[in-house]
């Protein structure tokens, strides 16, 4: 034992060491919680369940909606996703956005618009799309956006990003 070490200096060092260990044991989980939450995001893959596959009528686009919750750090936000699902055989699906590519208005499905066939109508500036989302008339610059679709265990999922 070093003769220069007094009982007082030894106990002070021991108490400081124990306090450091305790601070580390308590501080690391707290820092991980705070920093992990601030950097966390949810729903990063973008897939959202929008319907049961058997609820979509073959040959007729069906408007489906879903609420998507996204967590980015401490901020949680909810957005509404809407799309028209189409199927001919009940097994293979297509999803078209219900947002007009002109100014972002919502399109509606109406019968008899395109040569007696159903089509999508944008009421803002008389934009018209055929049943596949292609531009028919109006100031619309592009066809309706298509979403990636996945069918799994009887549910239809749409990729929103």
pLDDT at 14 over 60: yes
pLDDT at 45 over 80: no
Given this model, what pLDDT does residue 36 score? 65
pLDDT at 39 over 60: no
Q: 47-159 adopts what CATH topology?
A: Rieske Iron-sulfur Protein (2.102.10)
- The answer to whether the beta carbons of residues 116 and 94 sit under 8 Å apart is no
More confident residue, 3 or 54: 54
Given this model, what pLDDT does residue 143 score? 92
Mean pLDDT along residues 147-157? 88
What stretches of 3-114 show up as alpha helix (H) in DSSP? 7-39
Write the pLDDT tens digit of every residue in 58-78.
888 989 888 887 777 777 888
pLDDT at 5 over 60: yes
Q: How confident is the model at residue 38 (pLDDT cuts 50, 70, 90)?
A: low
Q: Identify the burial level of 77 via C-beta atoms within 10 angstroms of its C-beta, where 0-12 means exposed, 13-18 middle and 19 or more buried.
A: exposed
More confident residue, 40 or 154: 154
């Amino acid at each position: 034992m070093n003769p220069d070490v007094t009982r007082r200096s030894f106990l002070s060092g021991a108490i400081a060491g124990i306090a450091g260990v305790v601070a580390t044991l308590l501080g690391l989980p707290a820092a991980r919680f705070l920093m992990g939450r601030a950097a966390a995001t949810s729903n990063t893959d973008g897939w959202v369940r929008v319907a049961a596959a058997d609820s979509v009528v073959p040959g007729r686009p069906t408007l489906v909606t879903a609420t998507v919750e996204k967590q980015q750090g401490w901020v949680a936000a909810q957005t509404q996703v809407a799309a028209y699902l189409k199927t001919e055989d009940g097994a293979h699906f297509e999803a078209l956005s219900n947002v007009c590519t002109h100014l972002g208005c919502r399109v509606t499905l109406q019968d008899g618009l395109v040569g007696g066939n159903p089509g999508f109508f944008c009421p803002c500036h008389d934009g018209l799309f055929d049943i596949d989302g292609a531009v028919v008339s109006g100031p619309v610059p592009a066809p309706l956006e298509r979403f990636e679709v996945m069918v799994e265990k009887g549910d239809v999922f749409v990729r929103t990003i």
